[in-house]
């Protein structure tokens, strides 16, 4: 019996081929607009997938409620149609514009949060009085816009204090008191999920500006203590913690959502049951098109689809971190890091609840879940990141190059002094 062995020259060629692949990848990543294109591509894919899954997950509920299986999808399309121009406008703005709007956005968010406590305006949804109703279907959730406002304000504040951030006083004041006020207003609405995301943003911003390790660890301990305290104050939250410890102890009661989310994920297999073929959306899984849309994704698209979603969010995070680390402007660094922490913290809390790694707190999955109040500020934040990506070294020159007219060579040929023109004159 004979065996075929690799020739020495083949073995020597493999490392060279690997080096060429690594070199090619490095060349792509070193291009000026790489962050811009990565961010644009990942966001676009998540938006398209979100519309597709909202259409599938909401069809049964929409039919039962409105008599049309696509009413909820149409509404989400409207929100996307409103949000994309807002993201485009944000992408055309400069850091100076965002800094000018930071304080206005913060004051506006606090004002809207206070309005939720006004009888007749504040609306209770699923036990949380965190909505403002303007009559009919028009209602907004101010806490979603508060995330964006806090990131903008904190980034501007720390950029102004750049030379003073070695002092604890300037690290914590007035950032912590203002963030504490916003978080307190949201906790008062019984919205612990959004409060946890904002706490993560606050701690993340303190870490990004270079806080000492002991201060950072202390902030984590304080956030954990505050979160544990407020969980212990509500019986339904304690019930959710108990359900988290033993998901199958009460599958027909407090564990209903978690049980059916697990069932949806487990029946998806590798490739899923197919888009539109979910069984859990037929009333078994509450909030299938909002907080638990990832369970429907796992059921219909399987493990491969679920991992694809995770990869897209990680790509989004990579783009955000890349923008934050490649800039020399403090405001861009802090704002890009804050937006990245916000989106990824919300993603982790949502996915952790769906797959059983965290207690259920009820927050949407960015760019995928149904809801305009969550989608609009997220798209504006993506627009901000796109604006920051265009400020990277060499990005402006690359953009000008990519925007040349289709027949640029004709205009250059007509330019006085161009060789082609001179040759024509000679003839």
Domain count within the chain: 1
Looking at the domain assignment, is residue 30 inside a domain? no
Global pTM? Answer: 0.88
* Tokens of residue 165, six digits: 């951030």
pLDDT tens figures, 312-365? 999 999 999 999 999 999 999 999 999 999 999 999 999 999 999 988 888 999
* Tokens of residue 248, six digits: 């199958």
Looking at the domain assignment, is residue 34 inside a domain? no
Sign of CA dihedral 110, 115, 118, 123: negative
Structural domain harbouring 365:
44-393
pLDDT tens figures, 207-261? 999 888 888 888 888 888 888 888 887 777 787 787 788 777 777 778 888 889 9
116: pLDDT strictly greater than 70: yes
Cα 91 from chain centroid (whole Å) = 16
Looking at the domain assignment, is residue 7 inside a domain? no
**Alpha carbon distance, N-terminus to C-terminus of the chain:** 76
Q: Which residues of 283-307 are buried (b: 16+ CB within 10 A; e: fewer)?
A: ebbebbbbbbbbbbbbbbbbeebbe
CA neighbours closer than 13 Å in the CB half-sphere of residue 152: 30
Looking at the domain assignment, is residue 418 inside a domain? no
């Amino acid at each position: 019996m004979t065996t075929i062995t690799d020739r020495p020259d083949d073995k020597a060629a493999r490392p060279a081929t690997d080096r060429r692949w690594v070199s090619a990848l490095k060349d792509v990543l070193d291009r000026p607009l790489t962050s811009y294109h990565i961010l644009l591509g990942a966001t676009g894919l998540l938006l398209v997938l979100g519309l597709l899954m909202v259409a599938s997950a909401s069809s049964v509920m929409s039919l039962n409620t409105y008599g049309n299986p696509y009413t909820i999808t149409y509404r989400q399309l409207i929100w996307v149609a409103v949000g994309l121009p807002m993201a485009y406008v944000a992408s055309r703005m400069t850091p100076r514009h965002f800094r000018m709007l930071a304080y206005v956005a913060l004051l506006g968010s606090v004002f809207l949060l206070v309005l939720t406590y006004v009888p007749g305006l504040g609306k209770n949804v699923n036990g949380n009085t965190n909505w403002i109703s303007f009559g009919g279907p028009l209602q907004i959730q101010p806490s979603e816009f508060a995330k964006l406002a806090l990131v903008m304000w904190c980034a501007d504040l720390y950029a102004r204090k750049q030379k003073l951030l070695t002092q604890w006083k300037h690290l914590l004041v007035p950032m912590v008191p203002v963030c504490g006020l916003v978080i307190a207003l949201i906790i008062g609405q019984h919205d612990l999920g959004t409060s946890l995301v904002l706490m993560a943003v606050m701690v993340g911003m303190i870490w990004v500006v270079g806080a000492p390790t002991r201060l950072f660890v202390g902030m984590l301990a304080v956030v954990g203590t505050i979160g544990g305290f407020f969980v212990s104050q509500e019986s339904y939250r304690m019930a959710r913690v108990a359900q988290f410890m033993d998901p199958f102890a009460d599958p027909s009661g407090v564990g209903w959502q978690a049980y059916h989310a697990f069932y949806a994920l487990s029946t998806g297999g590798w490739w899923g049951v197919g888009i539109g073929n979910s069984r859990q959306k037929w009333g078994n899984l509450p909030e299938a098109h909002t907080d638990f849309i990832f369970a429907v994704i796992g059921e219909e698209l399987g493990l491969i689809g679920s991992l694809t979603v995770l990869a897209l969010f990680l790509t989004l995070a990579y783009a955000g971190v890349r923008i934050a680390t490649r800039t020399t402007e403090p405001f861009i660094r802090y704002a890009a890091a804050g937006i990245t922490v916000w989106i990824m913290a919300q993603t982790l809390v949502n996915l952790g609840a769906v797959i059983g790694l965290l207690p259920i707190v009820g927050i949407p999955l960015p760019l995928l879940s149904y809801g305009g109040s969550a989608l609009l500020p997220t798209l504006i934040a993506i627009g901000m990141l796109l604006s920051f990506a265009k400020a990277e070294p060499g990005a402006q020159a690359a953009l000008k190059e990519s925007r040349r007219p289709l027949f640029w060579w004709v205009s250059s040929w007509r330019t006085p002094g161009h060789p082609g023109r001179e040759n024509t004159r000679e003839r």
